[in-house]
Amino acid sequence: MSHKIAILGASGYTGAELVRLIATHPGLEIAALSADRKAGQPMGAVFPHLRHLDLPDLVTIDQIDFDTIDLVFCALPHATSQAVIRTLPANVKVVDLSADFRLRDPAEYQKWYGKPHDATDLQETAIYGLTEFYRDAIRDARLVAGTGCNAATGQYALRPLIERGLIDLDDIVIDLKAGVSGAGRSPKENLLHAELSEGTHAYGAGGTHRHLGEFDQEFSAIAGRPVQVQFTPHLIPMNRGILATVYVKGDAAALHAAFTDSYADEPFLVVLPMGELPSTRHVRGSNYAHISVVPDRRAGRAIVFCALDNLAKGSSGQALQNANLMLGLPETEGLTAPAVFP
């Protein structure tokens, strides 16, 4: 029997990606799609690549009868997300793709997002959605907070190393290369093709990017002491993909062993042989992440790489993986299609 789901904020890229993934999922039925400004339109008019699917038309959120819904994917902007989720019936499970429930400390939320949190009671029940590290809690959760796509990438490259005490916690540099779909579908001059193609630049450098809040929270919790990484994202002229290049001080062989051990049973985390270099092209459109370790020429230093698709494993794929767990379905259902290359 199918579980009925709704996608709120279906006119953005993560909403469309959810529809794409669920289209071949045997256990889920899309019962409602919301998009306030595009309510009344068929989904296929907003995303023509989905036009052959039999989908409900876009509606406003208040037109949805949530009593018939088992699980809601909430792909709304932060702040909006918490306002909407607090109005949902308690028996509806929620996977939130916004930033609203990622940070457990409301002070941290205010620091990074510039406004007080308005649903701190809900926050206390939310589980951080990095599946591989919160799997059991996610299974029982009512509300799961999808991680930042950059935050997920960096964590896959670092968590096992911090957990095992294998690296110097004071000298971690995450240099990240991100595709443009992560910036969303809202029209902005700096996101135009003519502005972005054929070049690259950094943004949010120097410790201002909001995903640092997640790094700080998670890495400090694992280490049992404050950890502050250095983090510089760059925009790359590609639509999908994140590559994290992480500079650490530690023994490369030990790091590689930590990954092969920690991720041995993970269906979506692929550890490459020592020295091989991942490419975002090889995970494009898929829920897989490729992780690798390269020793530096100076002993005691190494570079860790992680490549994943920001819309899939970094966001909507992760959300579906979590939803599968929350609904008691096989965790990998609908998520095993290989990357689209070239």
Give the footprint of a second copy on residues 208-237 (CB under 8 A): 208, 212, 228, 230, 232, 234, 236-237
- As a whole number of angstroms, the distance between CA 264 and CA 251 comes to 20
The interface with a second copy within residues 102-141 (CB under 8 A) comprises none
- Which range of residues in 27-35, 62-70, 72-80, 178-186 is near a second copy by CB under 8 A? 178-186
Residue with tokens 């926050």: 123
Residue closer to a second copy (CB basis): 220 or 239: 239
Should residue 30 be labelled a site residue for a second copy when binding is judged by CB under 8 A?
no
Give dist(CA 252, CA 297) in Å, integer: 11
**DSSP string computed for 145-166:** EPPPHHHHHHHHHHHHHHHTT-
Q: Which of 40, 107, 124, 202 binds a second copy (CB under 8 A)?
A: 202
Selected range binding a second copy among 20-28, 156-164, 254-262, 316-324, rule: CB under 8 A: 20-28
Binding to a second copy (CB under 8 A) within 44-83 occurs at 47-53
Annotation marks residue 306 as catalytic = no
For residue 200, the tally of other CB atoms under 10 A from its CB is 10
DSSP structure class, residue 92 = S
From CA 186, how far away is CA 192, in angstroms rounded? 10
Among 98-106, 129-137, 140-148, 270-278, which window interacts with a second copy (CB under 8 A)?
270-278
Residues 325 and 10: their CA atoms lie apart, in Å, by 22
**149 part of the interface to a second copy, by CB under 8 A:** no
Does 245 bind a second copy (CB under 8 A)? Our answer is: yes
Q: Give the H/E segment covering residue 254.
A: helix 252-262
Q: Is 238 in the site for a second copy (CB under 8 A)?
A: yes
Classified as helix, coil or strand, 82 is helix
Q: Which of 19, 141, 143, 291 binds a second copy (CB under 8 A)?
A: 19
**Structural contact between residues 334 and 25, judged by C-beta atoms closer than 8 angstroms:** yes
Interface with a second copy (CB under 8 A), residue from 42, 56, 66, 247: 247
Positions marked catalytic: 149
